[in-house]
Structure formats: structure tokens, C-alpha cells
Structure 1
Amino acid sequence: MLFDNFTLILLGVVATATLLPAQGQGAVFFEGLTVAAIALLFFMHGAKLSRQAIIAGATHWRLHLLVFGCTFVMFPVLGVLAKPILLPLLGEQLYMGVLFLCVLPGTVQSAIAFTALAGGNIPAAVCSASASSIFGIILTPLLVALLMQIDASEGPSALHSIGAISMQLLLPFVLGHAMRPVIGAWVDKHKKKLSRLDQTSILLVVYTALSASVVQGLWSTVSLNALVMLTLVCCVLLALVLFLTAWLGQRLGFNREDRITIVFGGSKKSMATGVPMAQVLFTGSLIGPALLPLIIFHQIQLMVCAVIAQHYARQINPDTAARPKASS
């Protein structure tokens, strides 16, 4: 449960990027391959999303509003409030990475998978998670520009970033959803095999992005002590968000199924969306520190939420012991 195949392979990719980073023509090749893989990934995400699920889940606006608020308001507020502690503890670059983590959209597949295992509101989870990814294409660059005070003189403007991210993520998603009447049955039949596409795409983007950062001197600026502190910060952040989402769901009077959906929908951050966004929003040596908090947080959230989901499931069926495969 603590170290599945994807986690081990991801650690291997990080080690490979450290020891054998892509350079020169190799870097150009992997950048092109990564763009194609991410476009295909979001095309398939769009093709998987059924309109029946959208209609079934869209009417639950109170739940969606709360998950949306946790993802794009509560997380960023926690990141900003923690600045006096995190900045001296982690340094400016890793703190910016934590702040970038806080403004990312939530996951799609893992949020739905854990909600399903735990006995939550699956249609609402599908609608909420998908909406988070779509709105995040616009909101994340705006929040990055606002909270990190990035302007056109220091890097790509927010509007330029939104355009670039939309072309890379939103356009393939829309095209995939438009093609669902044609390929939807095939996609639904091969969901398990297509999940490998998610993992492969993430691994490619991580290798490409970390390679560029390693060449720029990533490990000369990030120490082992800083990595340990960053891991502890990610653990505390996840624990705090899990507590707040559970407390808010109960405080606002949601039923058990909806509270489960809120916990798993409002506490996650997407690696599949975050890594390509980092490539657009950050340059050179900044990409590595921007990705490290996301890589660490992503693995911790999968491990912890797998345990929580099984705990919920055992409350309904003591014999339930299955674990979902989730990577986005």
C-alpha cells in the first residue's frame, strides 16, 4: 500500500533525470514526445466523460461549490498564511512550489476511484472533478500571477499562459468529449489499459521537466534537509485539508455519501494537470522546485487516501479490502 509500482517507477524516473538528464537533441525529442502524450491524455479524459454523468452530478451545486472553494480558495489561503513559516524553512523557490501546488486543480481519476471505493456520491464526484480540471486551466495561471506577482516582464503573462495551457490541455479535452459518441464505447471497454496512458504521460513530463531543471543546477540549490522539511510540510498540509474538508462537510449538513465526495474531491491536487502547467508557467531552474512539492504531495495523498477510502468501505462492508488504482 505504501509503495505501489507507479510510485517506485516515479522514484526511478527522478533518479534517471538526476543522473542522465535529457540534453541537446535528446531534450528536444522528449519535449515533443511529452506534448503529444499530454494531448492524448486529455483527449482520452474528454472521451471518458459521459454526458449522463455530467447531468446526474451537475444539479448538486452546493457540493460542487464547496469542493471548488476548497480547491481554489482554501488551499491558496493556507499557502499564503503559512508563508512566514515556510519561507525560512524551505527557501523561496520551494515555497513557490508549495504555493503552486495550492493553486492547482484537483485530480480526476483518483478522486472518483476513492469516492467509489468508499461508497460516496460517484456522479457528483465525476462532475466535480472534471469541472475542477477545466476551470483550473483558467484559474491556476491567474492565481499564480496574483499570488506570486509574476508579470510579463518576468515570465509569460497570465493571458499568454491561459492560452498556452488551453491549447495543450483544454482543446484536446473538448475534442475528446466531442468524439465520445464515436469512440466512447471503446474507451469504456479499455479503461484499465488506458490508465497506463495517464501514468506514462506523467512519467514522461516529470523526466523532461526535471531534466531541464537538473541541467540548470536543481540539486545544488535543494538540499536533502530541505527535501525532508518539504515532505513534512506536505504531510501537515494534507492532514489539515483532510480535517477541514471532513469538518466542513459535516458542519454544512451533507449526508455521508456527499461528505465522502467532498473529502476526496477537495483534498487532492492533480499531477497530470500540474506538471504540464508548470512547464508553461515556469522556466529553466524554477521548474524543478515547482514540481518537487507536487511530486511529494501526490504520492502522500494516494497513500493516505487509499487507507481512508478502505476505512469508509469497511464501515459499509467489513469484507471490503480492494484498493483503487489511481494516478492522476
Structure 2
Amino acid sequence: MVGKLLRKMASDWFLAGMLTAVLLAAAFPKFGAAGGAMHADVASDVGIFAVFFLHGLALSTRSLLAGLANVRLHLLVQALTFVVFPLLYIPFKFAFGGLIPEGLMLGFLYLCALPSTISSSVAMTAIAKGNVPAAIFNATLSSLLGIVLTPAIIGLAMEGGATGGLSLGQAMLNIATLLLLPFVLGQVARPMIGALAARHKKFINTFDKLVILMLVYSSFCDSTASGLWRDNGLGVIVLTLAGAAVFLAAALMISSRVSKWCGFSEEDRITAIFCGSKKTLASGVPMARLLFGAHPALGLIVLPIMFYHQLQLFVCSIMAGRFADRFNTVPHPAPDAGGLPEPLPARAGS
């Protein structure tokens, strides 16, 4: 299974696209940097607005409401995402703050504050035979709460509440305008053009990924121009990968143990594990652009979520397959065709 996943990742055009975007930004930073010929500020705003309009258009309100009833599970998942995960940052910073550059450490804080992802949380839950309606509800609720809670957590953790030149209030206004507003408009438009969007789901998913690649490119252009690669070497990549692995392992362990202590069914435990440990790249990169503005370390800030995204897909795919195997156990056949036990052999002399 591991070999199959590695081959799948090797053929993943989106992963290759992220690597290419970073390399292009290192080679041609002026084109995508602020004030460059790409007009990245305008292109980013238009792309982000379009992506979240399409997210609102694609979300089925009926599927969301189907998972509404399991309140204890919802409280656990949201607490894991927005309370436990941010608290993990405190011992992490205490242990590794002297080793990790300031911009990258801010990226780990941002990773901890992000909401869960929708698509992979639901997909992994479905593969593992978990509670899919509850996964849809929790992943969607997490994304909506993240519009408010993510900048609030960042503001509380950073002295003064400033995020790279933007006040916290201005950052939240930008997020509401370019994330929440188009999402609501998409939901409003769903009865009219939702069926059309469903027929072109593959195109929408591709467009979503292309916008993320554009945002990754423009973010790294700004950071390259500010000396990202001049001041940081290969060690930053190693530190980012190791840090992302630490957070993923901690999140999976805590979500698994706590959901078991709470006495949830196996299906609900699966939902808690996959929804409570995931972090969104699709919303994370656009939100970073809005939240941190022209922060000189923007490339470093988005680096942890880029690594975490790939790790969570790889590890959780393996876990989902193992959870699903519990339904693939073939029961032992009955002793004979009639379903009755075979007679005992007669003893000698009887």
C-alpha cells in the first residue's frame, strides 16, 4: 500500500505544480512580486473570490444538515481543531523556538490555527467507513468558523494583534470580503446554477488548484525578493518537514485517544480522527495572503501547511485503508453445508 501511495504522489500534478511554483518564484521573483507585471494583488483577490464562490456553490446544504444531530462529536472535532491544536504550538515553540527561524515559527502557529479541510476529511472518512454526514458537517463548520477564529487565534498569539503590516481588524475585514461573502453568494446561487456546477465538478477542482498554485507562486516571489533563500538554506526544508510530522503525529494520537475516552462508536471515532487532525491548504494559502499581507516571510509562513498537506494525505490514506479492512474479514465457513456441526467420531468399543 505504501508503494502505491508513493507512486500516486509521484504522479500528482498538483504536488509537482507546487514544487514548480516555488522554483519559478526563486528564478523569476520580479514577475509575481508586489508591483510586478503579473499584478499579483489583483489576480490573487479575483482568484480567491472565485474559488470561495465555487466552494459555496458546490456545498450541499442537505448533506450538511444530515450530520447536525451528533452534538458531542461536533464539539470534540471543533475543540481539537481550534483549541487543542493551537495549544500544541506552546510546547513546540518552547522546545524548538531557538532552532526555527521566526518566519517559519509563525508559519507553524498559522498551521495550528487553520480550520480543517473539507474534501480530504470527508473522502478519508468515507474510505474508512466512518460517519460521513457528520464529517461533512464538521469539515464545513470548521471552514466557516475558521474565517473568524483563525485570525483571532493569530491575533491573540502575536503581541499587538498585527499581522505583517495589517491590523487584525483589517485582516478580518479582508477575509470576510473575499472568503465569507463569495461563499454566501455561492450558496444563494446554488438553487439556480448548482446543477451546472455539479456537472463541471472536475473543472472546478482543477481551477481551485490552479488558483492555489498562483498564490503559492506570488507568495514565494515576494519572499524571494525579500531574501528568503539567501537567508535560509536546505535546513529550513528539513525543519519544516520534521515540524509538520510532529504536529500530525500529535494530532492523530490525541484525536484517537480522546475520542476513545469519550466512548464514541467506531464510526464516530473515525470522523473525529480524520476531521480533527486535518488542516486546509485550499483555504490556508488564500487566507495567509489576506491575513499577512505583504509580510516579507510569507513564503516561510505558508511552507508548513504545504508540507502538512502532503503528509496528512499520505498518512491518513494508509490509516483509512486499515480502518476499512475491518469490514473485509471473511468469516470462517460453517463445518458442513447444512450449517450443523459434524458428529463426533465414535469411540472404540461403543
1:301 to 288, 293, 312: 312
Per-residue deviation, 1:152: 5.0
Deviation of the 1:318 alpha carbon: 6.9
| Cα displacement string for residues 117-168 of structure 1 (whole angstroms, at most 9, x for unaligned residues) | 1111111111111111111111111111111224359732222211110101
In structure 2, relative to structure 1, the CA distance for the partners of 1:15 and 1:139 (3 Å cut) is: same
Superposed CA offset, 1:19-77 (max 9, x none): 12224654552332222222111111111112211221122111111110111111110
| Structure 2 counterpart of 1:290, one-letter code | I
Supply the distance in 2 between the matched residues of 1:38 and 1:126 (Cα, whole angstroms).
22
2:53 is the alignment partner of 1:31: no
Superposition map of 1:1-328 within 5 A = 1-2=5-6, 3=9, 4-21=12-29, 22-23=32-33, 26=36, 28-152=38-162, 155-282=165-292, 283-317=294-328
1:179–1:25 Cα change, 3 Å: same
Preserved CA contact (<8 Å) 2:97 2:105:
yes
Could you give the per-residue CA deviations for residues 255-289 of structure 1, whole angstroms, max 9, x where no partner exists?
11111111111101111111122112223312112
CA contact (8 A) 2:67 2:137 kept: yes
TM-score by length of 2: 0.86
Bigger shift: residues 203-212 or 145-154 = 145-154
Percent identity of the aligned residues? 40
Shift of 1:232: 1.0
- Aligned equivalents of 1:50, 1:171: Cα separation in 2: 17
After superposing the two structures, state which structure 1 stretch, 306-315 or 100-109, moved more.
Answer: 306-315
Asked if 2 retains the 8 angstrom alpha-carbon contact of 1:235 and 1:300, the reply is yes
1:326 paired residue number: none
Q: Distance in 1 between matches of 2:93 and 2:37?
A: 34
Deviation at 1:204, TM superposition (A): 1.1
Equivalent pair of 1:27/1:208 in contact (CA under 8 Å): no
CA distance in 2, matches of 1:168, 1:186: 23
Post-superposition Cα deviations, 1:217-259, rounded to whole Å, max 9, x if no partner, equal: 1112322113212211111210111111111111101111111
The one-letter code matched in structure 2 to 1:289 is L
Q: Is the 8 A contact 1:72 1:103 kept in 2?
A: yes
Distance in 2 (CA, whole Å) between partners of 1:300 and 1:287 is 21
> Do the aligned residues in 2 keep the contact of 1:80 with 1:99 (CA within 8 Å)?
no
Answer whether contact 1:71 1:105 (CA < 8 A) is retained: yes
Residue 342 of structure 2 corresponds to none
Q: Aligned partners of 1:35, 1:281: CA distance in 2, in Å?
A: 12
Counterpart amino acid of 1:311?
R
- Partner secondary structure for residue 203 of structure 1: helix
- Pick 1 or 2: higher relative contact order, CA cutoff 8 A, min separation 6: 1
Cα distance in 2 for partners of 1:317, 1:183 equals 40
Structure 1 runs not aligned, ≥5 long: 320-328
CA contact (8 A) 2:151 2:291 kept: yes
RMSD: 1.8
| Range moving further from structure 2, 19-28 or 167-176 | 19-28
Q: Matched residues in 1 for 2:140 and 2:315: separation?
A: 22
- Partner amino acid for 2:75? L
Aligned to 1:324: none
Q: Where does the alignment leave 5 or more consecutive residues of structure 2 unmatched?
A: 331-350
TM-score norm. by structure 1 comes to 0.92
Distance 1:224 1:176, change over 3 A: same
The DSSP-based 3-state class of the residue aligned with 1:132 is: helix
Query: How far apart are the structure 2 equivalents of 1:318 and 1:13?
Result: 44
Maintained 8 Å contact 2:53/2:182: yes
C-alpha contact (below 8 Å) 1:115/1:261 kept by paired residues: yes
